[in-house]
Amino acid sequence: MHPDWKNEIERLEYVKQEINNEFKQRIAKAGMYKNEMRAINKQMWEELGPLSGLSTVDAAVTFTQHINSLKQNLAETVENRKVIERFEQQMNSPYFARIDFKEDDWELESFYIGIYGFRKDDTGDILIYDWRAPVSSMFYDYEPGRASYISPSGNIEGDLVLKRQYRIEKGEMKLMFDSNIAIEDDILQDILAGSADNRMKTIVSTIQREQNRAIRNENKRILAVQGPAGSGKTSIALHRAAYLLYRYRDSIKAENILLFTPNELFSKYISSVLPELGEDDISGRTLVGFAQEILGDRFGKYETYAEMMEWQLLNKFSANALSRLEAIKYKSSGEFADVIERFAEYFEDKIIKFNDIYYKDVVFASAKELEDLFHVSYKHMKISKRLSRIEMQVLMRIKEYRKQLEHEKEKELAESSEYVDESEVKALSRLAARKELEPIYQRVKEMLSIDIVELYRMLFENMEAFSACGGILSDAACRDTAEAIKKGILYYEDQVPVLYLMELLGLIDPDSNIKHVIIDEAQDYSVAAYKLFSRLYTGCGVTLLGDLSQNINPTGGIGNIKLAGEILDSKNLDYIELDKTYRSTIEIMEFAGRILPSGGKPFGRHGKTPLIMEANSIDEVYSQVVSGIKQIEEEGFNTVAVICRTLQECRKVYEEIKNEVNVELIAKSDDEIMADIVVIPSYLAKGLEFDAVMVLVLSENEYAEGEEQLLYTICTRALHRLDICAIKGASLIEKLGKKASEG
């Protein structure tokens, strides 16, 4: 038994008692808030009666005062509930670590570290330090010896005398040991050996030094993190958000942080992390959702990333698909981003044409005046802003003329014997004047507004304009794009270019509410996307996280995380490379390395060698899947993913096995994983993790040509067990050398 065991147990009981005392006070406050709300409602009824009777100014003022009191009461109730929930969690597991630090020329001091901090209300003594507190960083960054941390008053140096770790469950001490090495071995091994579920977990107690460096990084405005599968990039992203909310709690709230995620499925998967860390969940956004939010009903169909990937994988070898495959690749390139920029200039110089705006013999604005306003007076403004300003001036002139016209119409109607009611005459004269000038209003709108749908389509229909802007797509690819737009379909690869063009023209304004942007799976976004982000989120912090080896879109994505950061702000960029991977066993990572060498160094956790099984028929593959799932369940694993290359294959597999095992089909990017066993297409499995993964290879050419990154990505979803079930003759099996295990 550890020599300090008794003292630590006594200290744990003391801390639990102090938390419980504060907990009881908060419970009492909850009752007080409830009574206050009842009292406010009662007083409002007594003073005002039914709300429909607010007939005086005094009554309205009184009503407003009561409503404000109710709002304040509700806010305090919600905040109190959060504190109660935090205390409940703290009584279960108050802290996970302790460090003893002797600051130079100061006394030795002990710091207990937990997910949440705890300070006694009566004395102000800190019994537990939040893992995000400056002093807590030494737990992650140092072994016993010389150490330092950055405090609000500057760099603090001294000696880290002790680093101790705990496992406390249901308020009881289960494990305690002193560590002279990195936060690994017993606790980390035990956690990694555990089972996954359908929600991502926090990693506070096992954050590694290189991960902590990324989480707390404040060196530059832009942070780009490259790391192999299982290196904890998404965990870093979420814990970094929690750190920022703690570090800048007076200036950054949850609504000021924006997280770009691959799809809604992934957003739901990670949604519990920040609440578990005691923070409100931050806003998640996909590129498709962003496009829909801005473009609204301008298009009837917005293709999702999953739909685009499914189309590519199904049509990869089809001659009829070559033109769109060409377009997808080209539209993600820097060359096409340049084309969009030149097209904005081309629109300004060549497409916009001004004519006289007149009615009968009245000229509201001459073409010369409009050109001078656009090209000279308002040159400093973006194009759409210039047009809006000019439109406002012209409409003011038309409005003045319309007043004169209305008077003329009134006079005509008044002199006729048909109308005698003055109000009716005025109304009819306004309608008549408006109708008479309607063609002028329409002409102004057409000349001085931008139809972004028609403009973007023009880029692909007007070959003269396309060539002048440096475009080099085939006629067939241009035609495919234009035809889709005519049908009301906006392909995935066109969504960012449309938004980028809108921003260049001034149709989208920067989002001043956002103070930090986190972009996960950063390798999947195009050059145009990063140019768009650089304009929409100017001045705010940006964190990029990605892996070159997991760029699963064979024809799209920037790939290079560092380049993405340089596009955002090359002079204010910090780049970090992670090289360790913690998710999968050594055997799984070695197998994945045969598919695609990633350079990731697996953490020292062993398991079964991945099993490769060949089947003589598709039906035999289905049988292997059913028996494999049952065996995995017998081994005690919780979550299993049966991963097929396409959704089309997933549907067939699901129909064949659903009566044999309790399984769920994940078919859409906005689905939510509710079952322990799922059948899921390759591109939707990205970013997720499962205890066991069964990769199905159902045709001879699957994953054989140019899909190493896709196969690598789905194999590295597995924590403990990986099975490959392939049809006999699959070229992938030959490629992997038919290395199989005994299982």
Closest alpha carbon to 287 in 608, 529, 22: 529
Enumerate helices (H) and strands (E) in the chain, giving the number of each.
27, 25
- Given a cut of 90, whether residue 61 has pLDDT beyond it is no
pLDDT at 342: 98
C-alpha 98/C-alpha 205 separation (Å) is 11
Q: Model confidence over 401-434: pLDDT tens digits?
A: 999 898 888 887 777 766 557 777 788 888 988 8
| 187: confidence class by pLDDT, cuts 50, 70, 90 | low
* Residue pLDDT, tens place only, 79-89: 889 999 999 99
What is the DSSP secondary structure assignment for residue 536, as one 8-state letter? H
Whole-prediction pTM: 0.89
DSSP H/E element including 527: helix 527-536
Cα 240-244-247 angle, rounded to 5 deg? 130
Specify the higher pLDDT residue, 78 or 474: 474
Identify the pLDDT of residue 37.
83
Reduced DSSP (H G I as helix, E B as strand, rest coil) percent helix, strand, coil of the chain, to 5? 50, 15, 30
Question: What pLDDT does residue 351 have?
Answer: 95
Task: Give all strands of the β-sheet with 718-727 in edge-to-edge order.
Answer: 611-615, 718-727, 690-697, 640-644, 677-681, 664-665
Question: The domain that contains 695 carries what CATH number?
Answer: 3.40.50.300
pLDDT band at 372 (very low <50, low <70, confident <90, very high): very high
Helix (H, G, I), strand (E, B) or coil at 481: helix
Name the token pair of 722. 């990986």
More confident residue, 180 or 625: 625
124 in a structural domain? no
Which of 139, 132, 220, 105 lies closest to 542 in space, CA to CA?
220
Lowest pLDDT segment from 96-100, 596-600, 608-612: 596-600
Amino acid at 504: L
Please report whether residue 727 resides in a domain: yes
Kindly report the backbone phi and psi dihedral angles of residue 560, in degrees, each rounded to the nearest multiple of 5, phi listed first.
-90, 110
Residue 608 tokens read as 């079964």
Q: Which two tokens stand for residue 593?
A: 């390395």
- Reduce the DSSP state of residue 539 to 3 states and report it: coil
Please tell me the predicted confidence (pLDDT) of residue 196: 58
pLDDT of residue 417: 63
pLDDT at residue 185 in the model: 53
For the stretch 191-204, pLDDT in tens is 555 555 667 878 88
Q: What is the pLDDT of residue 189?
A: 56
Contact 725, 623 (CB under 8 A): no
Which of residues 57, 92, 127 is at a domain's end?
92
pLDDT band at 60; cut points 50, 70, 90: low
How far apart, in whole angstroms, are the C-alpha atoms of residue 366 and residue 211?
63
Residue 293's φ and ψ, nearest 5 degrees, are: -60, -40
User: Is residue 223 over pLDDT 60?
Assistant: yes
Domain extent at residue 608: 586-736
Number of domains in the chain: 3
Distance between CA 526 and CA 308 in Å, rounded?
A: 14
> Which of 435, 450, 465 represents a domain boundary (last residue)?
450
State the average pLDDT over residues 278-296. 93
Provide φ and ψ at 49, rounded to 5°. Answer: 70, -150
Long-range contacts from 172-176, C-beta under 8 angstroms, 24+ separation: 173/5, 173/8, 173/9, 173/12, 176/2, 176/4, 176/5, 176/8
| Residue 29 maps to a domain | yes
Beta carbons of 525 and 557 less than 8 angstroms apart: yes
Enter the tokens of residue 139: 């737990």
pLDDT at 200: 80
The reported pLDDT for the residue numbered 741 is 40
> What backbone torsions phi and psi does residue 627 show, to the nearest 5 degrees?
-65, -35
Which residue, 514, 519, 525, 583, is CA-closest to 551? 525
With 80 as the cut, is the pLDDT of residue 182 above it? no
Give the pLDDT band (50/70/90) at residue 742: very low
User: Do the beta carbons of residue 557 and residue 551 sit within 8 Å?
Assistant: yes
Q: Which two tokens stand for residue 257?
A: 């942080």
Residues 6+ apart with CB under 8 A from 349: none
| CA–CA distance, 493 with 495 (Å, rounded to integer) | 6
Longest dimension (CA), the chain: 111
User: Can you tell me the distance from the alpha carbon of 207 to that of 202, in angstroms, rounded to the nearest whole number?
Assistant: 9
- Asked if residue 603 is part of any domain, the answer here is yes
* DSSP code per residue over 375-441: IIITTTS-HHHHHHHHHHHHHHHHHHHHHHHHHHHHHHHHHSSS---HHHHHHHHHHHHHHHHHHHH
Cβ–Cβ under 8 Å, residues 276 and 680: no
Write the DSSP string, 117-185: -EE-TTT--EEEEETTSGGGHHHHH--SEEEEEEETTEEEEEEEEEEEEEEEETTEEEEEEE-SSSS-H
For residue 156, being part of any structural domain is answered with no
The answer to whether 195 and 676 are in contact (CB under 8 A) is: no
pLDDT at 307 over 90: yes
The fraction of the chain above a pLDDT of 90, given in percent, is 72
Tell me the two tokens of residue 708: 């190493």
Whether the Cβ atoms of residue 685 and residue 659 lie closer than 8 Å to each other: no
Distance CA 19, CA 25 (A): 10
Helix (H, G, I), strand (E, B) or coil at 675: coil
**What is the phi-psi region of residue 740: left when phi exceeds 0, alpha when psi lies from -120 to 50, beta otherwise?**
beta
Domain boundary among 420, 450, 480: 450
Q: Is the residue at 320 inside a domain?
A: no
Structure tokens at 71: 């709002």
Residue 414 in domain: yes
Classify residue 488 by its DSSP letter.
T
- Please compute the mean of the pLDDT values over residues 20-48 and round it to a whole number: 84
Contacts of residue 543, Cβ cutoff 8 Å, sequence gap at least 6? 223, 225, 237, 240, 516, 517, 518, 519
Whole-number Cα distances in Å, 103 to 109, 119, 158, 181, 725: 8, 22, 4, 21, 58
Note the pLDDT of residue 740: 41
Question: Has residue 379 been placed in a domain?
Answer: yes
Average pLDDT, the chain: 90
Question: What's the confidence (pLDDT) of residue 743?
Answer: 37
Q: Phi then psi for 237, rounded to 5 degrees?
A: -60, -50
Sort 84 into a burial class: Cβ within 10 Å, 0-12 / 13-18 / 19+.
middle
Q: How far apart are CA 208 and CA 585, in angstroms?
A: 17
What does the pLDDT look like over 469-503, one tens digit per residue? Answer: 999 999 999 999 999 999 999 999 999 999 999 99
Q: What span, in angstroms and rounded, lies between the C-alpha atoms of 532 and 537?
A: 9
Instruction: Please report, for residues 114, 201, 389, 390, 579, the alpha-carbon distance to residue 377 in angstroms, rounded to integers and kept in the order given.
Output: 61, 57, 11, 10, 55
Residue 461, classed as helix, strand or coil, is: helix
What's the CA gap between 548 and 598, in Å, rounded? 8
Residue range 231-272, pLDDT digits in tens: 999 999 999 999 999 999 999 999 999 999 988 998 888 888
